[in-house]
Structures are given as C-alpha cells and as structure tokens.
Structure 1
Amino acid sequence: MAVAGCPVCLLYVLVSAVDPRCPRCAAHVPVHNEPKKRPKFDLNQLDDGVDDLN
C-alpha cells in the first residue's frame, strides 16, 4: 500500500502497489517506491576500523 496523488481527481489516495488505480476515477496513479530522504547515520558512533592503542 502506498499514498499517492491522483493526476485526474487531484486527491491523495491510498493505492495498492500491485494495481495502482484511483478508487474514485480508476485512473492510473504513479507510485514512487524509492524514499526521498537519505538514510540516517550516527556521527557519534566511531566505526572507522582503527583500534585504540590505549
């Protein structure tokens, strides 16, 4: 399931990823599966592969 905007109705609709059709007008709704945000990473976590000598 995904939320997308119908280009015909100009409404946000919840559509299936298998058959992305608007439930109101049966138009094809473009669904984008890739995320828009970059993955988060922790700057405080020291994971550079270098061992402490102390």
Structure 2
Amino acid sequence: MVMACIRISRRLSVFIGRTIPGVGWVLLARDAFIIATNTVFKYHRMVKAEDKVL
C-alpha cells in the first residue's frame, strides 16, 4: 500500500503541482513555450530580415 504525504505550501501553484503531477507538467510545458516564443520574437526585433529564424 502506498502512503500519500501531504506537503504544505504557501503558493497554490506549487501545491497543485505536487498534488496533481500532470498539471505540473502542463504548467512546465506552457512556461517553456512562452519563454521560447518570447525569445524568438525579441531576437527578430533585434536582427536584420535576412538573419531571422523560423
């Protein structure tokens, strides 16, 4: 039998991520997507048209 351990957290997102691991993975993937998208967008604003990627 597996015993569940409840951890107290002050942040709701940390609590949800620990309680339901699937939600934590979705939030991690969303954050990675937002970071990558913003990085490419800012890079495109800094370089010439022929140096753009994607």
Larger Rg: 1
Higher helix share: 2
Give the shorter-chain TM-score range: under 0.3
Larger relative contact order (C-alpha < 8 A, sep ≥ 6)?
Answer: 1
TM-score, with length taken from structure 2: 0.27
TM-score, with length taken from structure 1: 0.27
